Amino acid sequence: MGTQTLARGLSVIQAVADGAQDLRAVADRTGVGRSTAHRLLQLLLQQGYLRLDTKGYSLGPALIDLGFKALHGNPLPVVARPVLEELSAQVSDTVHLAVEDGGSVLYLDKLPGSRGAEMRSRIGYRMPLSRAGVGKALLLDAPDRWRSTFDADAEHPQLSPAAKDADVDEFCTRMGGFARAGAAMDMEDNEPGIRCVAAPVRDVSGAIVGAISVSATRPYMPVARMRGLVPVVIRAAGRISAALGYREA
């Protein structure tokens, strides 16, 4: 019974995280009866895992605290931060750090650029692997996953029209070139008007455990500049990898 209650409570938190803002929406998304959903919501409010205002339910301060603890429990953001700050100062564009989590891109850090439009990415945000530049970098060592990941991402609700119309064979061909180069590019596949160059971060075993990127709006990212950024981003990713114990053969 305790396990079932815990599972229901977690499903309520997830429902609110996915946008359920009132009792009816929470009950509909979780499949829990309204009386049970109401009881769980009240308990989660009391414990600070949720909060309630005029707009409805949202995630509470206790989850924010846990999120920061989880973030700092991972050495990657801590190790990467000084390198990301130097890279950001060098390029004047938005810099990201991301990992793969649950089959999608999860952003762990973001340093906004000093020019161009603000992009929708943020810490804790998720995007489809095969469309985001950092996602492609995370997949460079896994050619056996390219086609299946692309097909699975085709149902992602955040895809732009251009990304939905993309061709899987063309994607796999491009990924092959990215793998040989050691870096990936996003030519507005993920967000209209936004381009980026990304490179993988490796741990002591040589496995890809993260990726970094430099992103900017199209006027600041002509193809020639993107090519010039490839070695810059690879070097920065290499410095983070070295700090995690990776040694290039």
pLDDT of residue 26: 87
Rounded to whole angstroms, the Cα distance separating 138 from 99 reads 7
CB 218 within 8 A of CB 239: no
- Give the pair of three-digit tokens for residue 205: 């075993």
pLDDT of residue 179: 97
CB 213 within 8 A of CB 80: no
CB 163 within 8 A of CB 135: no
pLDDT of residue 154: 82
Rounded to whole angstroms, the Cα distance separating 66 from 127 reads 22
**Domain boundaries for CATH 1.10.10.10 within the chain:** 2-66
pTM as predicted: 0.72
- The sheet with strand 208-217 has its strands ordered as 126-128, 104-111, 94-101, 208-217, 194-202, 184-187
pLDDT of residue 162: 61
Closest CA to 120 of 129, 130, 110: 110
The 3-state DSSP class for residue 99 equals strand
pLDDT of residue 17: 85
Rounded to whole angstroms, the Cα distance separating 202 from 207 reads 5
**Fold for domain 2-66?**
Arc Repressor Mutant, subunit A (1.10.10)
State the alpha helices, DSSP H only, in the chain: 2-17, 23-30, 34-46, 61-73, 75-91, 133-138, 143-153, 161-164, 168-181, 223-243
Closest CA to 191 of 213, 160, 215, 217: 160
pLDDT digits (tens, 9 = 90+) for 162-220: 666 678 999 999 999 999 999 999 998 878 888 999 999 999 889 999 999 999 999 99
pLDDT of residue 37: 87
Provide CATH code, domain 74-243.
3.30.450.40
Q: What are the residues facing 198 on neighbouring strands?
A: 184, 213
pLDDT of residue 157: 63
The residue ranges of the chain whose pLDDT is under 50 are none
**Domain boundaries for CATH 3.30.450.40 within the chain:** 74-243
Distance of CA 71 to the CA centre of its chain: 13
Do you know the residue count of the chain? Answer: 249
